[in-house]
Amino acid sequence: MKIAVCIKRVPDMELRFAIAGDRKSLEQSGLKYDMSDFDGYALEVALQLIEKQGSGEVVLVTVGPDGAQETLRKGLAMGATRAVQLKADQVPVDGLAVAHALAAELGGGYDLILFGRMATDTASGTVGPMVAELLGLPCVTSISHLELGDRRGTARRDLEGAAETVQFPLPAVLTIDEGIARPRLATLKGIMAAKKKPLEVKPAALGEVRLTVEAMALPPERSGPKFMGEGVDAVPELVQRLRTEAKVL
């Protein structure tokens, strides 16, 4: 079985962000990067499938600058077989432009193409299903449970207040929600082995860009509570304010 896992390098979300002087990008100094959370789940799913089968290949693919090689190495250290960097100094915010670059690389030969449900930076979740459409492959998004049988699979998708059971044939594109499998930590042995694993660099054949960043801003600080009370005695005033001030009662 041959599985591609598409990953993205994103800033560490625990950090405080600042907006750069151009008002449309993040201040780079002090940013640390790592693999987007959901991609870790997707990679773990792929590794477990290969381990269960006893043979196969997990290929990491990313669109990104040279800095993204560090993220690919991390995935290789977790156990992926090899990696491909589709080099782009700037990753467009336009999901379809990125999907074109990935589809050009991923056509033919893969039984499964996995993505995280979304990248935590742009928080859009569009690239996976777009790649599926461009390649004409069946696709199930945001899955929280997966069972694979003979060239077929069954997945669960959580909706608002409900869950869907979805059946699909292979090859397919799947986007993985968290909680499906806990991503493993790389072992020292894995980290050493990763240094010798193949990492191929190719130019990214990005599609036309129709979506661009016009501006970035930090959300308006909430000015702090309008009312802070203490203990049970504060309840009547809270309710009064919810009625008259916030008008939600």
Partner 1 sequence: MADMFAFAEARSGELRKVAFETVAAARRAADATGGGQVHALVMGAPGLSPHAEALGRFGADVVMVVEHAGLERYAPEAFAATAAERITGGSYRAAFFSASAEGRDLAPRVAARLGAGLASDVTGFEVRGDAVLVEHPAYTGKVLVTLRLTGTPAIVSLRPGALPAVEQPRAARIETVPPAADPGAGRVVVTELAQQAGATLDLGEAPVIVSGGRGLRAAEHFKLVEDLAAAFGNAAVGATRAVTDDGWRPATDQIGQTGRVVSPELYVAVGISGAIQHLAGMRTARTIVAINKDKDAPIFKVADYGIVGDLFEVVPRLTDEVRKARSS
Report 117-176 residues binding partner 1 (CB under 8 A). 120-130, 132-134, 138-142, 144, 154, 157-169, 172
45 binds partner 1 (CB under 8 A): no
DSSP 84-113: EEEE-SS--S-HHHHHHHHHHHH-SS-SEE
Whether 145 contacts 37, CB under 8 Å: no
Q: Does 92 bind partner 1 (CB under 8 A)?
A: no
> Which residues fall within 8 angstroms of residue 236, CB to CB, at 6 or more apart?
none
215 binds partner 1, rule: CB under 8 A: yes
Whether residue 171 has a cis bond before it, omega within 30° of 0: yes
Residue 61's H or E segment, with its range, is: strand 57-64
Q: How far is the CB of 229 from partner 1 (least distance, A)?
A: 5
Q: What six digits make up the tokens of 24?
A: 């449309």
Q: Which one of the spans 68-76, 106-114, 194-202, 210-218 is the region binding partner 1 (CB under 8 A)?
A: 210-218
Unique residue bearing structure tokens 């661009």: 212
Half-sphere exposure of 212 (CA within 13 A, CB side): 6
Task: Kindly state whether residue 54 participates in binding partner 1, applying the rule CB under 8 A.
Answer: no
Contact predicate 88/36, CB 8 Å = no
With CB under 8 A as the contact rule, which of the stretches 50-58, 66-74, 76-84, 226-234 interacts with partner 1?
A: 226-234
- Between residues 118 and 204, which has the closer beta carbon with respect to partner 1? 118
Q: In the complex with partner 1, which residue's Cβ is closer, 64 or 83?
A: 64
Query: Least separation, in Å, of the C-beta of 175 and partner 1?
Result: 9
Say whether residue 192 binds partner 1 (CB under 8 A): no
Question: Which of 2, 33, 34, 37 lies at the binding interface for partner 1 (CB under 8 A)?
Answer: 37
